[in-house]
Amino acid sequence: MTAFAAAPFDVAAVRRDFPILSRPVAGGRPLVYLDNAATAHKPRAVIDKLVECYTEYNANVHRGVHPLHERVTAELEEARGKIARFIGAREFDPYEELSEIVFTSGTTMAINLVAHSWGRKFLKPGDEILVSVLEHHANLVPWQQAAQATGATLRYCPLTADGQLDLSRLEEVLTRRTRLVAVTGMSNVLGTLPPVETLVQRAHDVGALVLLDGAQSVPHRPVNVRQLGVDFLAFSGHKLYGPTGIGVLYGRLELLEAMDPFLTGGNMIDEVFLDRSTFKRPPFRFEAGTLPIAQAIGLGAAVDYVRALGLETIARHEHQLLAECHARLSQLEGVTIHGPDVPAKGAIVSFTVEGIHAHDLGTKLAQQGVAIRAGHHCAMPLHAWLNVDATARVSFAVYNTREEIDILVDALEAARRTFRRGHRA
């Protein structure tokens, strides 16, 4: 991973953009929010955009000629263009109404869309889908279902002892029978950063496509689909400081053109007859029913916010927090950090504390105003591989501070003292 040099960053000014961070919790304590891998908070610019949408031009899109319709449609397609530029996809073509950016309800729906619309159409018995034990359930279960429906086989890339993809054994599982490689851009448990460029090259060498689950990676570091060469990219708005209920599927246009609709009805229709129907070209072919309109427009505002800060700046700040947190937790007695060391991971730290279940730890920290995540994080096979039933997870965002790491460490030490006394009793 690139080593980020130190640079001035006014995190206090950033924190003022997020109204929820000023709300006290747990008996008046300040909120220390370290659960950003689950969802990130929303800046005032995104909240204001949602209010603007509902108060100034609330209407349905692509379905009318009145002024409200024209304004909301223009805002929606402007947001689509912002997202395309943000990830390096081709621009929306207003004349042919073509785009590589499909709005979905989130990463889960985006991956399911590909599994159904591409997988069930093109996979056949003898084909193979390559995934890894690192994957979130949303990038595993859809491929289990697609394999069962088509007769394809699911295979797994081996991991090294510290939870990285073992590229030295990649040839064992990536073969001419591989049709798709589905891989996370950043593990939501270990923070592992797979070598996406290498995987794409190796996959394309054997004729396979690559789907990148960008739910964790897109909000934290630059992702350019053209430079990476990925064929599909899925990510969610709510982890990118945007609204819930909105996500994005990027697909190379020629792939989207060859895929069948996932859902049908509404604006995705071209013509309907009693015995058949025809469908629009991408992206509208995959946007059945009423879109999450305000959410999509709000996601455009979130992209504006992130681009103004700069993803390189965000990555640098979060990397500094990650290194500090790793160093501090490593010094605590009984704490085991799971996954690779700092250079090979993103801003996520999952750990266990000897003698304290992760859920009990999370509850105790919450009483101190510290919000973390405890459980299997929708990655049960990975936890089985780790040989633990649950982990505690700390995940950083642009508004987190070094002082919050101090509070976390103090709360962990207090929790350990409390549970030790309880054990002696």
Supply the CATH number for residue 70's domain: 3.40.640.10
Give the pLDDT of residue 420: 77
Residue ranges making up the domain that contains 203: 48-308
Looking at the domain assignment, is residue 41 inside a domain? Answer: no
Residues 415, 361 share a domain: yes
Residue where one domain finishes, among candidates 257, 290, 308: 308
**Do 161 and 19 belong to one domain?**
no
Closest CA to 415 of 347, 355, 325: 355
Which residues are the active-site residues? Answer: 378
Shared domain check, 317 and 233: no
* Contact yes or no for 122/136 (Cβ under 8 A): no
State the pTM of this model.
Answer: 0.95
Q: What pLDDT sits at residue 63?
A: 75
Instruction: Order across the sheet with 128-132: list the strands.
Output: 101-104, 247-251, 232-236, 209-213, 178-184, 128-132, 153-157
112 contacts: CB under 8 Å, gap ≥ 6? 138, 142, 262
Among 275, 308, 341, give the residue marking a domain's end: 308
Element (H, E) at 179: strand 178-184
Is residue 38 in a domain?
no
Which residue type does 76 have?
A: L
DSSP for residue 378: T
Q: Is residue 36 part of a domain?
A: no
pLDDT of residue 45: 98
* 118 and 69 within one domain: yes
Do 119 and 238 lie in one domain? The reply is yes
User: Which pLDDT score, from 0 to 100, does residue 160 have?
Assistant: 98
Tens of pLDDT along the chain (425 residues)? 444 444 578 999 999 999 999 999 978 999 999 999 999 999 999 999 999 999 999 999 987 789 999 999 999 999 999 999 999 999 877 667 799 999 999 999 999 999 999 999 999 999 999 999 999 999 999 999 999 999 999 999 999 999 999 999 999 999 999 999 999 999 999 999 999 999 999 999 999 999 999 999 999 999 999 999 999 999 999 999 999 999 999 999 999 999 999 999 988 999 999 999 999 999 999 999 999 999 999 999 999 999 999 999 999 999 999 999 999 999 999 999 999 999 999 999 999 999 999 999 999 999 999 999 999 999 999 999 999 999 999 999 999 999 999 999 999 999 998 887 655 44
The whole-number pLDDT of residue 3 equals 45
Question: Is 35 within the bounds of a domain?
Answer: no
Domain assignment of residue 171, yes or no: yes
What the block records as the tokens of 30 is 């300040």
Residue 92 is predicted with a pLDDT of: 73
> Is 6 within a domain?
no
Number of domains in the chain: 2
